[in-house]
């Protein structure tokens, strides 16, 4: 995820003020680790919003970074495999796999998916962070575009650590 967003999509120069701000929160792009604590990821996204979309509200910037993230992720080895399969999937089949994608990307996250109609589903996410669905909206927008489908997404917080993301498509 770090490579997809910061190295590939945003191409952050390791000698830039942007990289300095990332180092200050525990992310050194000169030495990218295999895994990071979710709090480092969240802080890194917030650093990126200030450098890439400083004039946007936080949620809007997160959605746009989600779009940038998935485009960069599709340039990685694993992401490239997913991108190659997307055009051959139906929207429902793709939506069915969202919980698996979340588990591979967000350590500690669990999710349940319930289809609420032939073209709609409710994704309930349990931890690790309440802002995860916001960046996921940007990711899903790009994925649905690649599926040739229009998706709409609404998220809300439920309880202290859970969120719901309503997904529908045409």
Digit-coded pLDDT (tens) for 104-146: 666 566 789 999 999 999 999 886 666 678 888 999 999 999 9
Cα dihedral 128→131→136→137 (10° resolution) = 150
In degrees and rounded to multiples of 5, residue 34 shows phi and psi of -70, -35
Domains of the chain: 2-73 (no CATH), 89-169 (3.90.1520.10)
Check pLDDT > 90 for residue 162.
Answer: no
Distance CA 133, CA 152 (A): 13
CB hemisphere CA count around 163 (13 angstroms) = 20
Please give the mean pLDDT across all residues of the chain. Answer: 89
pLDDT band at 73 (very low <50, low <70, confident <90, very high): confident
């Amino acid at each position: 995820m770090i490579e997809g967003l910061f190295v590939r999509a945003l191409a952050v120069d390791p000698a830039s003020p942007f990289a300095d701000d990332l180092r200050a929160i525990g992310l050194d792009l000169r030495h990218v680790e295999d895994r990071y604590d979710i709090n480092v990821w969240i802080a890194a996204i917030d650093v990126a919003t200030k450098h890439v979309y400083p004039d946007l509200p936080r949620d809007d910037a997160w959605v746009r970074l989600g779009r940038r993230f998935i485009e960069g992720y599709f340039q990685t080895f694993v992401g490239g495999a997913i991108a190659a399969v997307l055009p051959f999937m139906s929207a429902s089949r793709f939506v069915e796999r969202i919980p698996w994608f979340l588990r591979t990307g967000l350590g500690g996250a669990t999710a349940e998916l319930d289809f609420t109609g032939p073209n709609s589903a409710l994704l309930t996410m349990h931890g690790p962070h309440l802002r995860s669905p916001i960046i996921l909206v940007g990711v899903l927008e790009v994925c649905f575009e690649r599926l040739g489908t229009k998706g709409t997404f609404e998220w809300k917080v439920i309880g202290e650590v859970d969120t719901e993301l309503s997904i529908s498509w045409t």
